[in-house]
Amino acid sequence: MKNFDTETIDFIENNNLIGIKAGNERLNFLNIWMVTVDNRIFARSWGFAERSWYNTFLKDADGEIKCRERVIKISAVIPKDIALLNKKINEAYLKKYDSGNNSFYAHGIIKEEHIAKTMEFIVL
């Protein structure tokens, strides 16, 4: 498994919205929240729509992350060690997003229904 470079990890850690393209059929990037834990990148779905990025990745795991002008090809997976990581991922979301207007969503995204929609992104 190839790791993300430090430039990508730094970008994710220091920017609230990161572009993602789920699957091979999407034309545009969608901006979502992402966090890093132990130099790994995670995201949780806020919405539960049929055509959400999360559900798209369940059908087609390939996609892309956009960090400014850099585009990184990724694969989305449900981490095998998710039970061990959930506490750290929750803490990462609160550390990064729990302020101002984001607080409501930061506390929401660490609830069970959103925890169940956690994905990890792996470099292809």
Residue 56 has pLDDT above 90, yes or no: yes
Name residue 18's beta-bridge partners: 32
pLDDT given for residue 51 in this prediction: 87
Q: What is the mean pLDDT of residues 74-79?
A: 96
pLDDT given for residue 3 in this prediction: 81
Residue 71: pLDDT band with limits 50, 70, 90 = very high
Digit-coded pLDDT (tens) for 82-93:
999 999 999 999
Other Cβ atoms within 10 Å of 93 Cβ, number: 25
User: What share of the chain in percent tops pLDDT 70?
Assistant: 99
Residue 1 has pLDDT above 80, yes or no: no
From 69, 78, 60, 54, select the one nearest 8 (Cα to Cα): 69
Other Cβ atoms within 10 Å of 56 Cβ, number: 21
Give this prediction's pTM. Answer: 0.95
